[in-house]
Amino acid sequence: MKSMRYGRLRDSWRLPMPYRPSRPCPGRGPRRGGCPNLIRGNARCCPECEPYDKQAVRQYNQHRDESPGRRFLHSTTWRRIRDAKLNQDPICERCLRGGLTGPVVRAATLVHHLDGNELNNDPDNHESLCNPCHEDQHRGERWGI
C-alpha cells in the first residue's frame, strides 16, 4: 500500500521519525534561569542567549590556561619532550603491563605525568598512554570519585 504523505510518495511503513521535543533554554547572561525560549537538538541555548554563552566559555578557558602548568603544556619545549617520549614508547605502557598483545594493544597518543606535577619533566616521570587508559587515570580527579 502506498500513500502520499509529507509531499512525497512513500511506503506506509517508512514514515519519517518525529522530531525530538524542544526543551527550555537554560538562559545565559541577564536571562540566567529565566529565558522563555525553547531550543531544539544539540543547541546549548537559544540564539538570544548565545553571545553570553560564548563569552562565559571564553572567560573560563582564559582563566583555566593562566596556571603555570597549563601554560607550559602549550609550549614548544613540552611538544619536544612529548614527541621524544612517544617516539621512544609508541605503544601504551599500561596496555602492555596489563598483558594485552596483538591487535588489542593501542598506540599511545598522550604522555602522562606520574606524580601529577605538569612541571616535573624528569624522563622517569612520564608514561605513554592511549586515550582510554588516560581517561581511566583521570576519571576520579574530574568527577570527585
pLDDT over 80 at 61, yes or no:
no
Q: What is the Cα–Cα distance from 119 to 77, expressed in whole angstroms? A: 11
Can you tell me the mean pLDDT for 39-65? 83
Higher pLDDT, 96 or 103: 96
All structural domains of the chain with their residue ranges? 43-70, 75-143
Q: Rounded mean pLDDT of the chain?
A: 79
pLDDT over 70 at 142, yes or no:
no
- Rounded to two decimals, the pTM is 0.53
Q: How confident is the model at residue 8 (pLDDT cuts 50, 70, 90)?
A: low
pLDDT over 80 at 99, yes or no:
no
Q: How confident is the model at residue 45 (pLDDT cuts 50, 70, 90)?
A: confident
Out of 17-21, 81-85, 109-113, 130-134, pick the least confident.
17-21
User: What size, in residues, is the chain?
Assistant: 145
Tell me the DSSP string of the chain: -EEEETTEEEETT-PPPPPPPPEE----GGGTT----EE-TT-SS-TTTHHHHHHHHHHHHHHHTTSHHHHHHTSHHHHHHHHHHHHH--B-HHHHHTT--GGGSPBP-EEEETTS-TT---GGGEEEE-HHHHHHHHHHHHHT-
**Given this model, what pLDDT does residue 40 score?**
86
